[in-house]
Copies of this chain bind each other. A is one copy, B any other.
């Protein structure tokens, strides 16, 4: 692991790191904020998964999470959204597929299967790296994300129930199998058989029996992707039918941007902190 940069911020350290990823067969970059409380011992870990077109840097720059994370004593890990590099297959003119659009799946289709393994990267390789290099209490982990990263957070929580104390999302894609901006990506990464996609689809996972303690979702009412791409009511219905508590906050007038995310960041951090503190 290589340190790209570190800066003191809000009493903690905001770092950027890179490493050669075995899982993705390329160099990967990620951001970690370590709060001041880490001087006194390991801190809980909150994973933030970003949306389409983002790298680790967008939420690090615009997410406004450090003040509250420093107050609550939480490590915040912000991974990239796809494999990177000149040798990674891509569709440069398509912002909904390829680099910046890994969709947190393990691709099975060529030419993507070699690099596009973001599910395993986020759930296996990167956690091991975090555990080995940061003052992290890996018994206390939670996960959240935005848009495509909200999708990632939901499916990763549903598939790793025992690992995460809590899961929340800002404007998540809840049923990627049927949304216009995600369906073509799932087909290219996973093949034409849509039954295979269900393991990476939050609504389908719940319908197929996956369970989690509870969810928190914030969604802007003025989000341009609401009706076609996001449709949180589908997840509301799925959770309701499965008996999973879901708090769905519709935020009047808010859009899909970091201006929205940063507004409700404090609420999400505090919500996770309460659940990370519980035994």
Contact = CB atoms under 8 A, between A and B. Distances in A.
A10 B253 CA distance: 11
Give the residue among A9, A61, A254 with the most B Cβ atoms within 10 A: A9
A64 interface: yes
Contacts of A64: 64, 67, 262
Interface residues of A, number: 23
B260 A8 contact: yes
A66 B254 CA distance: 15
Report copies per complex: 2
Contacts of A222: 8
B259 A8 contact: yes
Interface of A: 7-11, 14, 61-62, 64, 66-67, 220, 222, 253-255, 257-260, 262-263, 266
20 contacts: A7-B255, A7-B259, A8-B220, A8-B254, A8-B255, A8-B263, A9-B259, A9-B260, A9-B262, A10-B262, A10-B263, A11-B263, A14-B259, A61-B258, A62-B62, A64-B64, A64-B67, A64-B262, A67-B263, A67-B266
